[in-house]
Structure 1
Amino acid sequence: MDGERADDRAGNAVEMTLSRLRSLDSHQPAPPPADGAPRTLADLYRDHQMRMVRLATLLVDDQATAEDVVQEAFAGLHRHWSGLRDEAAAVGYLRAAVVNGSRSVLRRRRTAREYVPPHQVNARSAESLAMLSAEHQAVVDALSSLPPRQREVLVLRYYGGMSEAEIADATGISRGTVKSTASRALDAVARVMGPRSR
């Protein structure tokens, strides 16, 4: 029973922190042009670039690398622009490309760490940390300690605001795996946060 309460508290802490970040990054997209012309890639970049960078930063824990991942995602979107049916499909493509690009970065890091001593990457922007309370910073630090898939699932759920089905589509895993991974991740966050989550 105590374990379940700790998991619930950890889940609430993760949700509050990532929702706070989501609200900091949210802004209303620009309305479509008055002449009825379709939105352009530049419009999508202006409306979604910052949120995609934050998503990638939460996944790879490095601002510069996150920006590179997002640039690659937008370059891929440009290459596939004519094949996309609407803006929602374009945003879905971007999100999947950011998740996949982040996974590639983490795989390359893991390979590189086999040859060089590991080092702590903690280069989140000073601006984003300054806007978080100490409790929220502890949650972000706890997320950083999770294995990549667990971090990915929690970030997509609580920061991305995605359902289990959407996470399954974006990550290529089953809904059941999404659910069990989220549960294990919240257990781990509760353990890492220790007394703070009690």
Structure 2
Amino acid sequence: MTQGGEAAQHARDEGDDGDDAPATLPELYAAHRLGLVRLALLLVDDLETAQDVVQDAFAGLHARSRRLLPDPDRALAYLRVSVVNASRSALRRRRTARGYVPPHEPPGDSPEARAVLAEEHREVLDAVRALAPRQREVLVLRYWSGLDEAGIAETLGISRGAVKSTASRALDAVEKALEAKR
């Protein structure tokens, strides 16, 4: 063995690869965490987000540690790329959140408006209850169950024409009953 080969063998035996690069994840974390947080902080301008980005990068490295940790340069390069990409994603999420405009919510009804609406609903239900059974069935299947004319005809065993005429007469009767109450 040559003298250079003996020195390299001794360095491997001692666990020293000659460039003092961290060999384990905790060593890599201790050596580079602050620098990576500074990098992320410059990109996202928020310490908490920067710390989260770096933590996620180290978690990703841990998941790939078999491939990347034997080569500390690759591991550090992976961390830098992860921090930059995660910072970009954080900025995109932030920009999307700031640009979001919630849909317009109409103001809540006043108690008086709800009482009037409830009274109108009761009047309509009373008018529907006063209909002939076939008329009531057609309206309930149409407006409560959402069936079309063919579905109502099939359900009740009548023709589509009978459904149309029955629905028309039923709606006229409900309208007249409501007008009579006013």
- TM-score under structure 1 normalisation? 0.40
Q: Which fold has the larger relative contact order, with Cα–Cα distance below 8 Å and residues 6 or more apart in sequence?
A: 1
- TM-score under structure 2 normalisation? 0.44
Max Rg structure: 2
